Structure 1
Amino acid sequence: MQTTYFPIQDLTSHSLPIYLSSIGYDYMEGHMHRPEGYGRYQWVHTTTGEGELSLHGRLYSLPVGHGMFLYPNVPHTYYPKTHLWTTEWLSFDGKDIAQLVDAIGFHSSGVYQLDHLDQFKTYLREGYRLATSTNQYSTLDMSSFLYNFLIELIKNVKPLHKTSRSNQYDKLQPVLLYLDAHYAQPLLLETMAELIHVSPQYLCTLFKKVFNTRPSAYLNHLRINKAKEMMLTQPHKSIAQIAKEVGVESPSYFSALFKKHEHKTPNEFILLHRPL
Structure 2
Amino acid sequence: MPIIFRSTPVSEPLTFDSVGNHWSQESVRRPKGYPLYHYLQTEKGCGCIEIQGKSYLLNEGEGVLTAPFVRHSYSGKTEEWLTLFSTFTGTIESSIAKILGNRQIVFIGKDQGTKIASLIVSIMGKYENPPVDAKALSLDCYGLLLHFVDGVYTRDLMEDPLYQRYIAPVIKEIETNYDSELTVNGLSGQVYITPQYLSRLFGRFLGCSAYEYLTTYRINKAKEFLLTDPRMEVQKIAQRVGFLDTSHFIAMFKKVTGLTPLEFRRLN
Q: Under TM normalisation by the shorter chain, which class is it?
A: 0.5 to 0.7
Structure 1 match to 2:6: 7
Q: Which amino acid aligns with 1:6?
A: F
Q: Over residues 178-208 of structure 1, what are the superposed CA-to-partner deviations in whole Å (9 max), with x where a residue is unaligned?
A: xxxxxxxxxxxxxxxxxxxxxxxx9x94896
Q: Decide whether aligned partners of structure 1 residues 50 and 106 sit closer, same or farther in structure 2, where only a CA change above 3 A counts.
A: farther
TM-score with structure 1 setting the length:
0.54
Which blocks of at least 5 consecutive residues in structure 2 are unaligned? Answer: 174-268
Q: CA RMSD in A?
A: 3.1
Q: Which amino acid aligns with 1:141?
A: A
Name the CA distance, whole Å, in 2 between partners of 1:114 and 1:101: 23
Q: Decide whether aligned partners of structure 1 residues 164 and 118 sit closer, same or farther in structure 2, where only a CA change above 3 A counts.
A: closer
Structure 1 match to 2:44: 48
| Contact kept? 2:6, 2:16, Cα under 8 Å | yes
| Contact kept? 1:46, 1:62, Cα under 8 Å | yes
The one of 123, 131, 139 equivalent to 2:134 is 139
Q: Secondary structure at the match of 1:154?
A: coil
Structure 2 match to 1:16: 12
Structure 2 match to 1:150: 145
Name the CA distance, whole Å, in 2 between partners of 1:54 and 1:163: 22
Structure 1 match to 2:60: 64
Structure 1 match to 2:217: none
Name the CA distance, whole Å, in 2 between partners of 1:126 and 1:26: 13
Shift of 1:32: 0.6
TM-score with structure 2 setting the length:
0.56
Q: Secondary structure at the match of 1:99?
A: helix
Shift of 1:30: 1.4
Name the CA distance, whole Å, in 2 between partners of 1:111 and 1:117: 10
Structure 2 match to 1:165: 157
Q: Over residues 18-60 of structure 1, what are the superposed CA-to-partner deviations in whole Å (9 max), with x where a residue is unaligned?
A: 1111111111111111122222211111121111111111111
Q: Secondary structure at the match of 1:115?
A: helix
Q: Which has the larger radius of gyration?
A: 1
Aligned residues: 173
Q: Secondary structure at the match of 2:42?
A: strand
| Contact kept? 2:67, 2:103, Cα under 8 Å | no
Q: Decide whether aligned partners of structure 1 residues 205 and 120 sit closer, same or farther in structure 2, where only a CA change above 3 A counts.
A: closer
Q: Which amino acid aligns with 1:167?
A: E
Q: Which amino acid aligns with 1:89?
A: F
1:102 aligns with 2:94: no
Name the CA distance, whole Å, in 1 between partners of 2:38 and 2:87: 4
Q: Percent identity at matched positions? A: 20
Q: With a CA cutoff of 8 Å and minimum separation of 6, indicate the structure with the bigger relative contact order.
A: 2
Q: Which amino acid aligns with 1:166?
A: M
Q: Which amino acid aligns with 1:100?
A: I
Structure 2 match to 1:129: 125
Q: Which amino acid aligns with 2:5?
A: F
Q: Secondary structure at the match of 1:26?
A: strand
Structure 2 match to 1:198: none
Name the CA distance, whole Å, in 2 between partners of 1:110 and 1:104: 8
1:82 aligns with 2:82: no
Name the CA distance, whole Å, in 2 between partners of 1:87 and 1:67: 9
